[in-house]
């Protein structure tokens, strides 16, 4: 037995220990459970050791500066339970004393503390007192306390908070985890400085830090506590979590005891606390209430993003956002490459899919501003005789998706039956846009070919299937909203006819270069591969299109990388590449009127009231979508491997630019099909998965 490493001080005078309440639990379990020692469970990413067959294995126990794997065996259960170290193995350095709270056990001041263990399917916290005699062949520990506990955690990682639950006292670990005695509320503090009110704990849901305070985020004591947390944070960087070191609390015991979050003298108390904190940590920051709240909101957002990545199996996210204090914050979480583990950063570029449409739409509006184009001009002027009702379809109808033209992205197998159209010339399976899109990412469409798909379907429907009540696949021109990628490729080609330049050239010279969008790329057909620092994109075809489709193309039923899709597949409707930071610049330029004259800006803002679309209430502007639910103007984009969104959130619909803040969020995964309890499904999107929660953190519901 390798026990010498855990020997306690000899001749320890033991206090009187009442083990009667513990005896029944331990003996009953020992007698009724058979099996091998095991790690029984995991709570919030932490392995939970299990007391089984009279033994418990602690995978990580901190002692001094070292970390051990330790096995304890129950050798006496006659009312004073004694456990013996039957094996111990040095496995590494334990790090700082505060890191002990991230391990499954710690041994200090002759007490072995186990934050959580499993006994017969229930969780407990335990303290064992070191017991050493001259004749003992190995280190012995006597059970001192055994509390039935429920694991819990704060919704953000705040480590080093003291807490009391029943008779149990401990500290939150670096992830904000704690273990509350069953039936007892939890009271948090920093040393002698109380933090709000005791709260009940439930493992099912993380506890929002604001819930400790009577008025939540509106409580003055909540805001003051944020000032204290920020000033005491060990590394002065709350975004990566707040950690208050034990040494800091010991050194600041007096000023902490003299600080009261509800006192009218809090200002002076806080100033004295910060001064004392700088004696321990020279970098300690003094915060105003506003700055402290913004600082904490960053932590909440970062924590929320990490949680959502895990919940939705998304590799990474990049976010740029204007915070309520005017600061533009760039951050990221997760990985840009699942194979190499490359960490995601705000500098990684993403394909932005249909967010490209906002650029094409603003190009058209600039041509209107310059007198080179009118919104009421007809499609026949640019594509004479190519589309049925081309003499009725206007440029504005293309911009707001009311033209009713078939989207080339809907050219999937059996699309004819899905849309009720008899094709004049039926395309072969291998010529279908979607078949090529899935299996031939390097295929290059020539000029006009995407437009021809929409024209062929509309012409076939008009000649073979049209009725007076339904002359189009969806609607008569201008009457209903019918999202179609063909609309924006038509707008691209109209712009090229007017300017006699390529769409790529116009977007670069009108927007990318003047606005300083240095990480935005407008690729041309044939430029398949992304270059430089970019996030790899991923898709699970079995989930996205069904197992049959995945099997047909030989794809596994798991994520595959799909970072490259030739720009010619979408062009003016979805080909661009950018970063979240560049899209925030773009959002401000679009919505604050720097790209158009006031009169044309007003034309761009004229809404077509869509009502419910994709389960959401929206208005369609000219190249921009107004999401009535989250009170934002912007444009989402999905292209295989990526999901993107730029938005301009407003708090007052009558003063959009005065109360608006820009934001962009990018994900490197085509999101999963999600099913509700009734079996209905939808494809989740970046706003639903990420942006709505971020807005709630900043502005509430």
> Where does CATH 3.40.710.10 sit in the chain?
350-524+533-699
**Which residue pairs, CB below 8 angstroms and at least 24 apart, start in 198-202?**
201/150, 201/152, 201/165, 202/150, 202/152
249/162 Cα distance (integer angstroms): 10
Helices 220-232 and 289-312 cross at an angle (nearest 10°) of 80
Helices (H), 8-155: 20-32
Q: Which residues pair with 114 in a beta bridge?
A: 126
| Strands 242-243 and 158-159, bridge-based pairing | parallel
Q: Write out pLDDT tens, residues 209-239.
A: 999 999 999 999 999 999 999 999 999 999 9
**Longest Cα–Cα distance in the chain:** 104
pTM of the model: 0.89
* pLDDT computed for residue 30 by the predictor: 32
Q: pLDDT (tens digit, 9 = 90+) per residue, 299-335? A: 999 999 999 999 999 999 999 999 988 999 999 999 9
What are the tens digits of pLDDT across the range 11-47?
222 233 333 333 323 332 332 222 333 344 677 667 8
Please, what's the b/e burial string for 307-326 (b: 16 or more CB within 10 A of its CB; e: otherwise)?
Answer: ebbeebebbbbbbbbbbeee
Q: How far apart are CA 181 and CA 41, in angstroms?
A: 19
H/E/C letters for each residue in 414-443?
CHHHHHCCCCCCCCCHHHCHHHHHHHCCCC
Q: With contact defined as beta carbons under 8 Å apart, do 695 and 355 qualify? A: no
Sign of the Cα pseudo-torsion (257, 261, 262, 267, in order): positive
- The kind and range of the H/E element at 251 are helix 246-251
Q: C-alpha 371: how far from its chain's center?
A: 44
Helix, strand, or coil (residue 308): helix
How does pLDDT run across 411-434, given as a tens digit for each residue? 999 999 888 899 999 999 999 999
Q: What percent of the chain has pLDDT over 90?
A: 76
The region of weakest confidence among 11-15, 63-67, 527-531 is 11-15
d(CA 188, CA 197) in angstroms, rounded, equals 8
Pairing of β 625-627 and β 632-639: antiparallel
Contact criterion met (CB below 8 Å) for 622 and 604: yes
- How far is Cα of residue 550 from the mean position of the Cα atoms in its chain? 27
CATH architecture of the domain 350-524+533-699 equals 3-Layer(aba) Sandwich (3.40)
The pLDDT, as a whole number, for residue 94 is 84
pLDDT tens figures, 629-651: 999 999 999 999 999 999 999 99
Task: Look up tokens 């979408």; give the residue.
Answer: 570
Strands (E), 174-255: 177-181, 187-190, 193-194, 242-243
Residue 115: how many CB atoms within 10 A of its CB? Answer: 26
Q: Which span out of 17-26, 29-38, 577-586, 675-684 was modeled with the highest average pLDDT?
A: 577-586
């Amino acid at each position: 037995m390798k026990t010498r490493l855990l020997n306690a001080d000899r001749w320890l005078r033991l206090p009187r220990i009442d083990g009667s309440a513990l005896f029944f639990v331990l003996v009953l379990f020992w007698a009724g459970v058979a099996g091998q020692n095991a790690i029984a469970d995991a709570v919030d990413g932490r392995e939970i050791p299990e007391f089984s067959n009279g033994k418990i294995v602690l995978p990580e126990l901190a002692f001094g500066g070292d970390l051990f794997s330790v096995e304890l065996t129950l050798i006496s259960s006659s009312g004073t339970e004694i456990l013996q170290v039957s094996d111990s193995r040095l496995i590494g350095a334990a790090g700082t004393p505060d890191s002990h709270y991230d391990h499954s056990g710690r041994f200090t001041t002759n007490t072995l503390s186990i934050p959580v263990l499993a006994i017969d399917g229930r969780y407990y916290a335990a303290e064992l007192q070191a017991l050493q005699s001259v004749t003992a062949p190995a280190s012995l520990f006597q059970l001192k306390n055994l509390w039935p506990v429920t694991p819990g955690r704060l919704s953000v990682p705040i480590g080093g908070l003291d807490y009391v639950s029943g008779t149990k006292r401990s500290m939150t670990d670096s992830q904000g985890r704690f273990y509350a005695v069953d039936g007892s509320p939890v009271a948090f503090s920093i040393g002698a400085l109380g933090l709000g009110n005791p709260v009940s704990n439930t493992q099912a849901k993380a506890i929002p830090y604001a819930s400790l305070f009577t008025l939540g985020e509106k409580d003055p004591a909540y805001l003051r506590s944020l000032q204290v947390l920020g000033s005491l944070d060990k590394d002065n960087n709350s975004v990566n979590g707040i950690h208050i070191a034990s040494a800091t609390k010991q050194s600041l015991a007096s000023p902490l005891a003299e600080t009261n979050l509800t006192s009218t003298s809090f200002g002076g108390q806080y100033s004295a606390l910060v001064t004392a904190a700088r004696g321990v940590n020279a970098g300690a920051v003094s915060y105003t209430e506003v700055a402290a709240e913004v600082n904490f909101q960053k932590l909440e957002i970062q924590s929320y993003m990490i949680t959502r990545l895990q919940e939705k199996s998304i590799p990474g996210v990049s976010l740029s956002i204007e915070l309520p204090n005017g600061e533009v914050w760039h951050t990221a979480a997760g990985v840009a490459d699942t194979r190499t583990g490359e960490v995601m950063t705000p500098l990684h570029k993403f394909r932005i899919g249909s967010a490209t449409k906002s650029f094409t739409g603003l190009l058209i509006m600039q041509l209107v501003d310059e007198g080179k184009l009118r919104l009421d001009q007809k499609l026949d002027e640019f594509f004479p005789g190519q589309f049925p009702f081309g003499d009725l379809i206007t440029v504005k109808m293309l911009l707001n998706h009311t033209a009713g033209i078939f989207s080339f992205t809907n050219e999937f197998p059996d699309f004819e039956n899905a849309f009720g159209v008899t094709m004049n010339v039926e395309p072969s399976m291998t010529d279908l846009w979607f078949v090529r899109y899935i299996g031939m990412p390097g295929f290059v469409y020539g000029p006009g070919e995407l437009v021809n798909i929409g024209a062929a379907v509309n012409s076939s429907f008009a000649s073979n299937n049209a009725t007076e009540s339904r002359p189009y696949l969806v609607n008569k021109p201008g009457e209903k909203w019918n999202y179609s990628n063909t609309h924006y490729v038509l707008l691209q080609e109209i712009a090229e006819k007017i300017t006699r330049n390529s769409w790529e050239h116009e977007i670069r010279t009108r927007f990318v270069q003047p606005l300083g969008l240095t990480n935005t790329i407008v690729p041309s057909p044939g430029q398949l591969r992304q270059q430089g620092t970019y996030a790899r994109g991923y898709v699970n075809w079995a989930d996205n299109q069904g197992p049959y489709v995945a099997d047909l193309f030989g794809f596994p039923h798991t994520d595959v990388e799909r970072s490259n899709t030739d720009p010619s597949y979408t062009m003016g409707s979805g080909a661009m590449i950018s970063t979240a930071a560049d899209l925030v610049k773009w959002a401000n330029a679009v919505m604050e009127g720097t790209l158009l004259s006031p009169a044309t800006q007003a034309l761009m803002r004229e809404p077509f009231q869509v009502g419910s679309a994709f389960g959401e209430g929206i208005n369609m502007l000219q190249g921009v979508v107004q999401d009535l639910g989250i009170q934002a103007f912007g444009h989402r984009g999905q292209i295989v491997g990526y999901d993107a969104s730029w938005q301009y959130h407003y708090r007052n619909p009558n003063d959009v630019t005065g109360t608006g803040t820009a934001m962009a969020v990018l994900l490197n995964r085509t999101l999963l099909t999600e099913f509700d309890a009734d079996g209905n499904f939808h494809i989740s999107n970046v706003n639903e998965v990420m942006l709505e929660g971020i807005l709630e953190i900043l502005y509430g519901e």
